[in-house]
């Protein structure tokens, strides 16, 4: 079924879940419609304190202002787990360099020893790298992770109910060792004659993403129909999108949406912080049996030979990391590259 063209993303208010039965049902209906038709929306009423948001943006600015040697001391090429700092141009989308610098932070866990019977994706487990020059970063990110994990779980349970499933259908996949990922990103400005690729067009490989964007700084674009929707930051809102695993779970009723980031103009920059809410590496997302009226609109899982979608999160995540960070892959996972 062809959806009408849109010029803006829908806006959903999470607090409506607590505003009585009618408002709750209206929110569930709006959530299902937004993610079936667009795959992206703004989320307000989420309860994350504005003071914490300001703290996070402040500590992000202080990190990127550190001397280069302090940032490179935690460069991600030192980490087989793809954690730490990536210099501008160090990450790739579809083979082309993304014009951003960033730090990747996941759950703080010990590395899993390699051996017979240990899945390849367990290589993603391990410790983070933290800058000695900015100890505040770890504490602020820890509080951010706790707040957004709670929002992510609430959204997943709402999605389940909106799709005719038990509220806790996703809980088992997230109950132990969830694989959240936080990227703190700075996009430097570029001149008009240069490439505009802040991040190339792609889909997210996990379940859902909550994106914080610095106020007043536009760059995100969402594919819709034959064109692109600009998604400028909205005061107090996250931009939310679904990943490939929700497409798997719903047989394509919910479809992961292609999106990209355009570089800001020369002389400016932009901070954004995506939070990827994902299950345990070993988790398989449940395949839902949708109500007949919804199942009739499920288009099946996207078939792309260049981007196979796996139902085990670890396999999907490892696929994406090896492609995005070829220097880390070559330094620590040459055996996987040779096998591929």
Q: Which of 34-38, 62-66, 240-244 shows the highest mean pLDDT?
A: 62-66
Task: Cite the beta strand spans of the chain per DSSP E.
Answer: 11-13, 40-44, 84-86, 92-93, 96-97, 101-105, 181-188, 197-202, 208-213, 220-224, 227-230, 238-242, 259-262, 269-277
List, for residues 79-93, the tens digit of each pLDDT value: 999 999 999 988 998
Rounded to whole angstroms, the Cα distance separating 214 from 233 reads 7
Helix, strand, or coil (residue 208): strand
Go through the domains of the chain in sequence order and give each one's CATH number: 11-339 (2.60.120.330)
Report residue 308 as tokens. 């196979």
Query: Has residue 50 got a pLDDT over 80?
Result: yes
Higher-confidence residue of 315 and 86: namely 86
Express each pLDDT in 197-255 by its tens digit: 899 988 888 899 999 999 888 899 999 888 899 999 999 999 999 988 898 899 999 98
- The pTM of the full predicted model, rounded to 2 decimals, is 0.93
Q: Reply yes or no on whether the pLDDT at 1 is more than 50.
A: no
Task: Give dist(CA 330, CA 336) in Å, integer.
Answer: 9
| d(C-alpha 22, C-alpha 225), whole Å | 32
| Percent of the chain whose pLDDT exceeds 70 | 96
Indicate whether 62 pLDDT > 80. yes
- Neighbouring C-alpha atoms within 13 Å toward the C-beta of 61: 10
pLDDT level of residue 339 (50, 70, 90 thresholds): confident
Least confident residue range of 48-62, 137-151, 246-260: 246-260
Whether the pLDDT of residue 148 is over 90: the answer is yes
Q: Which two tokens stand for residue 89?
A: 């141009």
* Helix (H) / strand (E) containing 54: helix 50-64
Closest CA to 204 of 103, 121, 307, 101: 307
Question: Which strand ranges, in their side-by-side order, compose the sheet holding 269-277?
Answer: 11-13, 40-44, 238-242, 208-213, 269-277, 181-188, 101-105, 84-86
What angle is formed at CA 208 by the lines to CA 233 and CA 328, rounded to 5 degrees?
A: 95
């Amino acid at each position: 079924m062809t959806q009408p063209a849109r010029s803006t993303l829908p806006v959903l208010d999470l607090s409506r879940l607590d505003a009585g039965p009618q408002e709750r049902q209206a929110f569930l209906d709006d959530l299902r419609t937004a993610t079936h038709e667009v795959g992206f929306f703004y989320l307000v009423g989420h309860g994350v304190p504005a003071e914490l948001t300001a703290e996070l943006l402040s500590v992000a600015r202080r990190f990127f202002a550190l001397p280069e040697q302090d940032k490179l001391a935690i460069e991600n090429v030192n980490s087989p787990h793809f954690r730490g700092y990536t210099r501008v141009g160090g990450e790739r989308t579809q083979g082309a360099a993304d014009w951003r610098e960033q730090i990747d932070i996941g759950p703080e866990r010990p590395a899993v020893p390699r051996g017979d019977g240990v899945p390849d994706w367990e290589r993603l487990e391990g410790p983070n790298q933290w800058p000695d020059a900015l100890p505040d970063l770890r504490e602020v990110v820890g509080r951010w992770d706790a707040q957004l994990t709670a929002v992510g779980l609430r959204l997943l349970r709402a999605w389940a109910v909106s799709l005719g499933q038990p509220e806790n259908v996703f809980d088992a996949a997230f109950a132990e060792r969830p694989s959240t990922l936080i990227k703190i990103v700075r996009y430097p400005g570029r001149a008009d004659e240069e490439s505009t690729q802040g991040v190339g067009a792609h889909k997210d490989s996990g379940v859902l993403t909550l994106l914080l964007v610095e106020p007043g700084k536009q760059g995100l674009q969402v594919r819709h129909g034959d064109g692109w929707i600009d998604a400028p930051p909205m005061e107090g809102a996250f931009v939310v999108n679904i990943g490939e695993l929700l497409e798997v779970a719903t047989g394509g009723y919910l479809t992961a949406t292609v999106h990209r980031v355009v570089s800001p103009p020369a002389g400016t920059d932009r901070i954004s912080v995506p939070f990827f809410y994902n299950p345990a590496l070993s988790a398989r997302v449940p395949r839902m049996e949708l109500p007949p009226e919804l199942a009739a609109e499920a288009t099946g899982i996207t078939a792309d030979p260049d981007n196979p979608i796996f139902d085990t999160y670890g396999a999907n995540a490892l696929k994406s990391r090896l492609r995005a960070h070829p220097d880390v892959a070559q330094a620590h996972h040459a055996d996987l590259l040779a096998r591929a």
